[in-house]
Amino acid sequence: MSTAPVMDLKGLDELKEPLEAFVAKHGLSKREHDVLALLVHQVVSAENISEHLGISRNTVRIHLKNINTKVGTTSKSELLGKFIEFVIQQREIGSEEVTETDLLILIADDDDSYVDLVRKASESAIGSDIKFRHVSDGHQMIEYLEGTKRNDPSCKRPHIILLDLNMPKMNGFQALERLKTDPQLNEIPVVVFTSSSTQADVSNIYALGGNSYVTKPGGYQQLKQVMHGIVSYWGRIGALPSHKS
């Protein structure tokens, strides 16, 4: 009889304690715990979870269904949203930590109307005035960030970057590579926020040093949910590097 692989939570140290509490609260089994841990670690497809745990994809789907039933959710995105809310409730926020209202987000996207929608969805979902800066292509993004290095008062250093891939002049791949090879800028977390969902793009982004990959949702309510997750995570849960104005 084969032995099931043991989950390695390396890289999840900050979330290990709330994960255990969440599992205990909802009475999840050991295997359900492992599946949820992978979801939290952005391993979201049944195929990839199957590979990590050495179980069939059908078994993964059964575990996911059981987790959703116990937690009272109906999808992976809703489940992760529930977990994020739980972590926020559990974690005490120190006075020196960044909160949602402190976050400065730089959006690199050539679709002005979609950027406006992102702003509105974020403010509606979080209920606070999120600070945004907008650039329309990768070249403008690098120029803006170079301004932060010169202490240009019009170029305040962002806490996170939302980066589209398909932009003119310099695309998201090129901009990310430039950013992550600059020792003065490479600590800034980059969330790729794009319409592409191809596995090749996902793999390339992580290989270049991207911190997260999110596919743009189609509807406004879904966009609100996604932005709530992004802003809540980087504003309340994830540890950000020291912010240099």
CATH code of residue 133: 3.40.50.2300
The total domain count for the chain is: 2
Q: What is the per-residue pLDDT for 181?
A: 92
Q: Which residues, given as ranges, of the chain have pLDDT below 50?
A: 1-12, 92-98, 245
Query: What would the pLDDT profile of 202-234 be if each residue is shown by its tens digit?
Result: 889 999 998 888 888 888 888 888 888 888 777
Is residue 139 domain-shared with residue 215, that is, in the same domain?
A: yes
Written as six digits, the tokens of 4 are 């099931």
Can you give the CATH number for the domain in which 33 is found?
1.10.10.10
Is residue 45 domain-shared with residue 81, that is, in the same domain?
A: yes
Sheet of strand 212-215, all strands in order from the earlier edge strand to the far edge: 131-135, 104-108, 160-163, 190-194, 212-215
- 153 is a domain residue: yes
Is residue 156 domain-shared with residue 223, that is, in the same domain?
A: yes
Q: How far is CA 152 from the centre of its chain?
A: 28
Q: What is the per-residue pLDDT for 49?
A: 83
Is residue 176 domain-shared with residue 204, that is, in the same domain?
A: yes
Query: What would the pLDDT profile of 143-163 be if each residue is shown by its tens digit?
Result: 999 998 888 888 888 989 999
Is residue 185 domain-shared with residue 229, that is, in the same domain?
A: yes
Identity at 75, one-letter amino acid code: S
Is residue 41 domain-shared with residue 81, that is, in the same domain?
A: yes
How much is the pTM? 0.61
Which of 187, 175, 161, 144 is CA-nearest to residue 105? 161
143 lies in which domain range?
100-237
Q: Which of 59, 90, 121 is the last residue of a domain?
A: 90
